[in-house]
Amino acid sequence: MKKEHDTQPGRRRVSASRPSHQRGTERPHGGHFSRPSRETTPSVPAVFDKNALRVIPIGGLEEVGRNMVAIEYGDNILIIDMGLQFPEEDMPGVDYIIPNIEYFKGKERNVLGVIITHAHYDHIGAIPHLIPRLANPPLYGTDLTLAIIKRRQEDFKEISSRLELHQITNDTKLELGIFKVEFFGVSHNIPGSVGVIVHTPEGILVHTGDFKIDERSNIAGVTELDKLERIGKHNPLLLMSDSTNAREIGKQHSEIDIMTELEDIVKNAKGRLIFGTFASLLGRLNEIIQLAAKYKKKLIIEGRSMKNNVEIAKELGYITVPKGTIIPVEEMKSYRNHEIMILATGAQGEERAVLMRIANREHRFIEVEPGDTFVFSSSVIPGNERTVQRLTDKLYREGVDVINYRMMDIHAGGHAKQEDLKKMIEIVKPRYFMPIEGNHSFLRIHGKIATRAGYADDKILVADNGQVIQCKGGICVRTKEKVPSDYVFVDGLGVGDVGDVVLRDRQMMAKDGMFVVIATFDNRTKRVMGNPDLISRGFIYMRESKELLMEVRRLVKRIVEQSAGNHAPGEINWTYIKDNIREEVGEFLYHKTHRHPMVLPVVIEV
Amino acid sequence: MKKEHDTQPGRRRVSASRPSHQRGTERPHGGHFSRPSRETTPSVPAVFDKNALRVIPIGGLEEVGRNMVAIEYGDNILIIDMGLQFPEEDMPGVDYIIPNIEYFKGKERNVLGVIITHAHYDHIGAIPHLIPRLANPPLYGTDLTLAIIKRRQEDFKEISSRLELHQITNDTKLELGIFKVEFFGVSHNIPGSVGVIVHTPEGILVHTGDFKIDERSNIAGVTELDKLERIGKHNPLLLMSDSTNAREIGKQHSEIDIMTELEDIVKNAKGRLIFGTFASLLGRLNEIIQLAAKYKKKLIIEGRSMKNNVEIAKELGYITVPKGTIIPVEEMKSYRNHEIMILATGAQGEERAVLMRIANREHRFIEVEPGDTFVFSSSVIPGNERTVQRLTDKLYREGVDVINYRMMDIHAGGHAKQEDLKKMIEIVKPRYFMPIEGNHSFLRIHGKIATRAGYADDKILVADNGQVIQCKGGICVRTKEKVPSDYVFVDGLGVGDVGDVVLRDRQMMAKDGMFVVIATFDNRTKRVMGNPDLISRGFIYMRESKELLMEVRRLVKRIVEQSAGNHAPGEINWTYIKDNIREEVGEFLYHKTHRHPMVLPVVIEV
């Protein structure tokens, strides 16, 4: 008969228990990933003031991504944006990170609406996961924004039902509970981008969304500074402004200059021209389409997301494609190389994306050839440097030309730089300024820009994720109240079920692998049956380590028989024995290899 | 009785066999990490020509790092450099990569000497691992180079015995077998750097090592162009030259300009000044020491490797420290903040290094304070971007100033740029040119510089790691012969025992964790005893997934009993059953979670 081993009540029978040095970390959240803060000790305020305005940045204030701000007054909650953040390198297997909406538990019905400023993933990415958990509040966005949200929603049929979508334009005015909402168009590298003006009982809030200021062209849309000037005359309470490029001095490039550089590349291409870029950079895609038409080239678009986005923008009239400019890839062979331009996904060296398949000769129709010119991002999303370097090396090996062009970067050209940011502050003239959308250091630097614009320190609110800003009687303060803002990980179908413990285990196994020890103890003979079984993965190559493994088997046998041999079946403390196996085998393996695999002891009693 | 399960001969009994989709990759090397090459199909040449010169780049031609070149003529082998390469992000747990020396098996006694150009890890790092396996050949280097090698060797007492070290100067002449060897000093960001001139029966080879050309100062040493001009008059056969900065246009900065910028920073500091940099950037460290003295500041050096290196350079007279400039950290409190400068390791955001401990308030003596100014690398070693960003955010949170200064970068300021590289080619005037030390794309770009200098394509040898260059009768060609150059991983005490299989397992477990299924089958009752045991790590949080786990238990029970129930004990095909468990459980878990943990089935027969 097989019996229960684990003496700890409530624990699973053969749960290979965790090494003691990891015990302290068995909390699903916190620990490694918490962001320490000197100034803002979290504490629940004594009273929730129903007659104060609360501005709560749920995400986007300690990172680029996961943008979400809540505006609350009494029973009225308005949310701006619902984005995702891409995982960092110590979060293996995580698909992305979404805002934490624990604060809204029990308040779901207070959420009057969710306004989406534009269709980039760091602003829309969490919608399928969070909207159902907020009792399906209505979503507001421009036509392009809504179309992209709708298209993406198709990939999430399993988890998310229909969305209630309401189309707005730059000139729409909404009443949502106590709030009155207006919009202003902004220039950004995707069309249909807006900023938001919220009239509250405590005054006017301005949220820029992502924006740039382009004084010389309207190619990437126009930031409606005239509207903001008018608002500026009404003594607005608070400006929340985009910090993505706050570290960059000077002004952002005009699209005219970007177009001129792109045009030089197109004009001078002797062979095929292959642009690797992001499907979401719709503004840039449009410019390339127009240049292809101007120079009578044929353009091929490869990559599902890129095709989709161009299709949507075309349908809505944001992109006009001159007839015959875009051709299906199958027709490429009918043209000479210098007549061909290709727009492809995969500028970050993604393994399965179009660019990599072209370079690897795995693409069905397009194969790299000497004479091709590849144009892609000069800088790279952190974590992707080496895959991009591999792609570049591969392409050079094929004898092609590679042009690294910064304006193919995802955050290049789309965000206001220091002088633009100063101008925004000076036009809106808010009583308080709050930098949003960026790492803490970006916010601080943005704060210094406000200082240059004449703001006193107490008028500049550099906050953390989750930190409640309270405004009452014309005074805004950063409170000590912090609502939950811990990471929520999306991994496959799971949302929030991967926490610190799971990630630490992954990191540990990634570093030194794991080592399962299985001993079958015969209660009758008081001996381990045969030899303990060992499974090693990611640690050593087993066939080459036979002697080491034999030593481990002897060690395990000795530990089990010495500890269990003298006890009656019911009296054996298997937890203690397993702890011993884990520690002694772990030490032995470290001594022999200087590696720390995760050791998992399993004892079967028969 | 417990019995053997696995029907495959020669395999371990309870080896949880690998999923079928991974089977194809069960080779210890190759696969994912091989570098495809269109031009150079490896093939062993029919005859090894004893009367030809063979130049074999073992490493450093497809990466920055792992530098090692062998020069072979008959029984004579000379090696230049023996460096390490830092692992890429898809090599979890690997400490570093060293050159593959399989080619020298059986030829160990032919290795007449190993010349080390300078003391950076990408040139010395593999010495402790490889020297013993080459029958301890003598090592040649300048005093500083040898001193740093000796100091590092102390960390490898377990694996490496005494080294035979021979000190050289820029003017030493050596006879090593058939080769005559001379040196030339080069300017680089560590003192005691040299290039190598090798006289061979087929002509003169020049190997630059790492170098820059600084026409305006000798602060970082002098590249002895006069010597090279003289060599240039003897019609040298082949120039091998540093490609690290081949992508950078123009000329490298003079140390005078770098000093001026550093001086501005020192002069303008209002509070403490904390430099985060690399222990190996001895040239830069020296400049900071001299500036501290000039401005009557007290300098504290923190970090073992940095202290060691400064100590060694001081002893050898490479650095002169004015009396009273460097103080122990304990005396910091005796001075006012603006009198203090600190040199610290950890500019890459390393978790345990000094800079991070200061930022985290975990350092024994130094705590970050408002008013401090931190100066560190503006660019970052690929893979470290986010840890550096975290460090930066932490520092900003403390209200300090952060200056990102590119000349604190490990490869900034130390390597020749395009115009310098062209000059080197024009001075040496080799018959053949071979770019070394860099990724393939860097070598190609360096090749184009040679084209600009007037070289025909067949005189420019862009080779791959392991590719044999053969020179005879004044003609050098890239042969189709490739000696082994696969990655050799160092992981703890293991060298070369971690291969592709182990790394793939680590990657798989890092992504989605693992899931062990343990079923005990009773041969008498033909039933699985109790419930199968499950261990999950890095996959899901078990306590929150009870229902899912119960379904898996039922599934496993059914698979085992259906497949094994009708067979006599000796006839059961356990391999087949385990494959079934792996596949069905894998599919079931994917369906439920969209994750692919590594499933390890274990069946115990009693």
Q: Which residues pair with A536 in a beta bridge?
A: A515
**What DSSP state is assigned to residue B366?**
-
B397–A37: do the CB atoms touch at under 8 Å?
A: yes
Identify the sign of the CA torsion A275, A280, A281, A283. Answer: positive
Task: Please state, in angstroms and rounded to a whole number, the distance separating the CA atoms of residues A411 and A235.
Answer: 32
Residues in CB range of B92: below 8 A, 6 or more apart: A510, A511, B503, B506, B507, B510
Residue A244 has pLDDT above 50, yes or no: yes
pLDDT level of residue A37 (50, 70, 90 thresholds): very low
Distance CA B96, CA B83 (A): 10
Q: What is the mean pLDDT of residues A76-95?
A: 91
Give the Å distances, CA to CA, from B430 to B237, B451, B561: 5, 13, 75
Two tokens, residue A381: 């999303």
A contact test, residue of B490, B539, B546, B578 with most A CBs within 10 A = B539
> Rounded CA gap, B75 and B108, in Å?
10
Interface probe with B: pick from A11, A350, A464, A502, most Cβ of B within 10 Å? A502
Partners of B535 on chain A (C-beta within 8 Å) are: 14-16, 516, 600, 602
Rounded distance, CA B372 to CA B340, Å?
10
If we measure between CA atoms, which residue out of A529, A511, A487, A560 comes closest to residue A65? A487
User: What are the φ/ψ torsions at residue A289 (nearest 5 degrees)?
Assistant: -60, -45
From residue A539, alpha-carbon distances to A353, A546, B35, B89, B230 in Å are: 31, 14, 25, 17, 54
A204 vs B284, higher pLDDT: A204
Contact between A344 and A274 (Cβ < 8 Å): yes
Alpha helix positions (H), A453-516 = 500-512
- Give the pairing type, strands A373-376 and A273-276: parallel
Kind and range of the H or E run holding B521: strand B514-522
Res A379: pLDDT = 64
- End-to-end, the C-alpha distance of chain A in Å comes to 5
- Are B540 and A494 spatial neighbours (Cβ–Cβ below 8 Å)? yes
Q: Rounded to an integer, what distance in angstroms lies between the CA atom of residue B3 and that of residue A237?
A: 78
Which residue does chain A place closest to B504, by CA atoms? A538
A6 — pLDDT class (breaks 50, 70, 90): very low
Does the beta-carbon distance from A13 to B593 stay under 8 Å? no
Cβ contacts (< 8 Å) between B397 and chain A: which residues? 36-38, 440
pLDDT given for residue B30 in this prediction: 33
Angle between helices A143-153 and A304-315 (to 10 degrees): 140
Given pLDDT bands bounded at 50, 70 and 90, which one contains residue A33? Answer: very low
pLDDT of residue A66: 96
Place of tokens 């030493």: B172
- pLDDT-derived band at A349 (thresholds 50, 70, 90) equals confident
Six-digit token string for A289:
């389409």
Q: Please tell me which residue of chain B has the smallest CA distance to A528.
A: B2
Determine the pLDDT at residue B380: 67
Most distant CA pair in chain B: distance in Å?
Answer: 91
| Number of neighbours of residue B585 by Cβ within 10 angstroms | 23
Question: What residues of chain A lie within 8 A of the CB of B497, using their CB?
Answer: 540-541, 544-545
Which residues of chain B neighbour A534 with C-beta distances below 8 Å? 12, 14
Provide the pLDDT for residue B195.
Answer: 98
Best of A516, A528, A606 to mutate (most B CBs within 10 Å, chain B)? A516
Q: What does A11-37 look like in DSSP terms, one character per residue?
A: S-TT--PPPGGGGGG--SSSGGG----
* Cα A108–Cα A110–Cα A114 angle in degrees, nearest 5: 80
Residue with tokens 């020749």: B416
Shortest alpha-carbon distance between residue B386 and chain A (Å):
7
- Which stretches of chain B score pLDDT less than 50? 1-44, 46
Q: How many CB atoms lie within 10 A of CB A457?
A: 9
Confidence of residue A492 (pLDDT cuts 50, 70, 90): confident
User: Among A16, A393, A444, whose Cβ lies nearest the Cβ of B441?
Assistant: A393
Q: What local confidence, expressed as pLDDT, does residue A480 receive?
A: 94
Judged against a pLDDT cut of 50, whether residue A504 lies above it is answered with yes
**A·B CB contacts under 8 A:** 233
Closest Cα in chain A to B592: A493
Domains and CATH numbers, chain B: 32-250+414-491 (3.60.15.10), 255-404 (3.40.50.10710), 513-605 (3.10.20.580)
B150 touches B124 (CB < 8 A)? no
Phi, psi for residue B543 in degrees, rounded to 5: -65, -25
Per-residue model confidence as pLDDT tens digits over A284-343: 899 999 999 999 999 999 999 999 999 999 999 999 999 999 999 999 999 999 999 999
Average pLDDT score over residue span A451-466: 97
Do residue B395 and residue A441 have CB atoms under 8 angstroms apart?
yes
Residue A75: the pLDDT is 96
